[in-house]
Structure 1
Amino acid sequence: MSEGERTSLARAIRAALLTGPARAKVFAARQVARDWRLGRLAPVFDVEMPDAPARPARPELLAPSAMPKRGRGGSLKGRIALWHSLAHIEFVAIDLALDMVGRFGAAMPRSFIDDFLSVAADEAMHFALLERKLASLGTYYGALPAHAGLWESARRTRHDVGARLAVVPMVLEARGLDVTPAMLARVRAQGDIGGAKILARILDDEIRHVAIGTRHFVAHAESEGIDPPERWRSLVNQHFAGSIKPPFNDSARSAAGLSRDYYAAIAAVT
């Protein structure tokens, strides 16, 4: 099949981003990654990405200040709230990875496309695992309201690949490295072996995702002759609305190539 006969990568990504139902989006993301890996998509960026991805009718999206309290962590209500929150994070992460490629892939090396499509497939798999976990608790994704602000970082960085790399993998995903070990310990203490396996798998994958983002950020900064940690701090200060809060999982961050040279100087004092 000639390149002209193949669907463009950009069109396949746009279609996945504009797929709303959760399970259909999971399938679409995994199909894009597979088709790219098998050479079924042309490396052509001939359409723009949507300003925002399609979403399922539920969950209801609320401002962070309007989100209800989770309840006691050991109660069924608290456990459902935790797993639902994680499922929502992973669902939005599918779109973040797809948009990374569709929006910036034309100007980046082939390895950038390969890496972030693999991230999209991972996030889709994580969501599927969490959706099954919710089903085991007698509920489903969409049963509770969810955080409306997760796409905001993508909107703020839509014109700058350096800013997107600095904020999404190197701030948002890196935060997952910090908070997941304590969450994993609590789930194990509750005797939830299946849940612990899911969290351990996600943590391992997220270390790789942060490493991917850091590697491409460093290469991009160095191509412009800029010190990567200095550039990262500047972009985070410009484009990230929150603060970089300890405690940090320094060992996991270091394994991902995100040394304290990046974040120690701008970490919030607690």
Structure 2
Amino acid sequence: MSLPAEIESVGSACAHVLATADPLAKLMAARAVARAWRLGCLTHRFDAAMPDRPARPDAPQLLPPNQMPKRGRIGSDRARAAMIHALAHIEFVAIDLAFDLIGRFGAEFPRAFVDDWVRVGAEEAMHFAMLDRRLQQMGSRYGDLPAHDGLWQAASETAHDAMARLAIVPMVLEARALDITPATIQRFEGAGDLRTARILQRIMTDEIRHVSAGTTWFGYATSRAGLAPENHYQILVKRHFRGALKPPFNDSARRQAGLTLEFYSALAQ
């Protein structure tokens, strides 16, 4: 899939991804943007406004997090499919989060910022594709179950501030995935679903790099502003994150990503 001929800048390419509702078309658009950027076919311009909300398909039905049905124990095929569906939705929204970050804030950063987050967006698309394929192997598909809209609420909350977006999305939400994914992998292995466990292991390896991109560019932004990164992170999390940072933390994976204890230990509850 190639981008429409009228798309010449990376900003307009990001807006194109967010304006694409169909899941398959969105992941193909993400891959097309990554390829076009890598080949030098897009200019380093940010000449398109990002939408307040990305386009969404008719399914899944989006519910508030507290209205989501319980998934039950992961031992049953139905519960495993429900868990995979929830993870696929996270990866689907993560495609938009990556490209919104570029299109909304890219002008504030060097060209390497686009390099990093285009790669992240393409990898989120790959993760979604792997999980949706796994659902189809189990007789289901993305959209068959409801999903929650909490991730985009975080994007809306931080739409005005690049440092807030980096602090909340990669450095809180994606870092939380580093905490819980090892146990999720063990649960799938315990249920005999080694195929899904391998997919999740691949995703976690990539997510360490995604959190690292967040901490790297957060460090760049705070340094440029003359701010202490750990202290300003704590201020932004208290201001913009709805909830608490709860242990246990995967300190090893977080440290690999540059998210050391100095950032989050004072926030832990």
TM-score by length of 2: 0.96
How far, CA to CA, are the matches of 2:77 and 2:37 in structure 1? 41
- Segments of 4+ in structure 1 off by > 4 A? none
Three-state SS of the structure 2 residue aligned to 1:7 is coil
Q: Deviation per CA, 1:8-65, whole angstroms, max 9, x where unpaired? A: 1111111110000000000001111110110011111111111110011100000111
Aligned residue in 1 for 2:34:
33
Aligned residue in 1 for 2:81:
80
Aligned residue in 1 for 2:233:
232
Q: Deviation per CA, 1:141-161, whole angstroms, max 9, x where unpaired? A: 000000122100100100100
Amino acid across the alignment from 1:78: A
Aligned residue in 2 for 1:10:
11
Three-state SS of the structure 2 residue aligned to 1:130 is helix
Tell me if the contact between 1:6 and 1:42 (Cα under 8 Å) persists in the aligned partners.
no
Three-state SS of the structure 2 residue aligned to 1:41 is coil
Alignment partner of 1:65 is 2:66: yes
Q: Deviation per CA, 1:68-127, whole angstroms, max 9, x where unpaired? A: 000221011110110000000000000000000000001111111110010000000000
How far, CA to CA, are the matches of 2:255 and 2:10 in structure 1? 33
Tell me if the contact between 1:222 and 1:228 (Cα under 8 Å) persists in the aligned partners.
yes
Amino acid across the alignment from 1:90: E
Three-state SS of the structure 1 residue aligned to 2:150 is coil
Aligned residue in 1 for 2:57:
56
Aligned residue in 2 for 1:118:
119
Tell me if the contact between 2:74 and 2:80 (Cα under 8 Å) persists in the aligned partners.
yes
Amino acid across the alignment from 1:87: A
How far, CA to CA, are the matches of 1:120 and 1:139 in structure 2? 25
Amino acid across the alignment from 1:194: R
Tell me if the contact between 2:7 and 2:13 (Cα under 8 Å) persists in the aligned partners.
no
How far, CA to CA, are the matches of 2:151 and 2:258 in structure 1? 24
TM-score by length of 1: 0.96
Amino acid across the alignment from 1:242: G
Task: Point out where structure 2 has 5 or more consecutive residues left out of the alignment.
Answer: 1-5
Q: Deviation per CA, 1:195-234, whole angstroms, max 9, x where unpaired? A: 1110010000000000010011011111111110001000
How far, CA to CA, are the matches of 1:192 and 1:172 in structure 2? 26
The alpha carbon displacement at 1:6 in A equals 6.8
Amino acid across the alignment from 1:83: I
Aligned residue in 1 for 2:176:
175
Three-state SS of the structure 2 residue aligned to 1:122 is helix
How far, CA to CA, are the matches of 1:183 and 1:6 in structure 2? 40
Three-state SS of the structure 1 residue aligned to 2:151 is coil
How far, CA to CA, are the matches of 1:209 and 1:150 in structure 2? 16
Alignment partner of 1:130 is 2:160: no
Aligned residue in 1 for 2:3:
none
Three-state SS of the structure 2 residue aligned to 1:87 is helix
How far, CA to CA, are the matches of 1:160 and 1:114 in structure 2? 20
Tell me if the contact between 1:10 and 1:45 (Cα under 8 Å) persists in the aligned partners.
yes
Task: Point out where structure 1 has 5 or more consecutive residues left out of the alignment.
Answer: none
Aligned residue in 1 for 2:242:
241
Aligned residue in 2 for 1:202:
203
Root-mean-square deviation over aligned CA pairs: 1.0
Matches within 5 A, 1:178-193: 178-193=179-194
Tell me if the contact between 2:74 and 2:188 (Cα under 8 Å) persists in the aligned partners.
no
Amino acid across the alignment from 2:222: A
Tell me if the contact between 2:179 and 2:248 (Cα under 8 Å) persists in the aligned partners.
yes
The alpha carbon displacement at 1:192 in A equals 1.4
How far, CA to CA, are the matches of 1:75 and 1:187 in structure 2? 10
Aligned residue in 2 for 1:109:
110
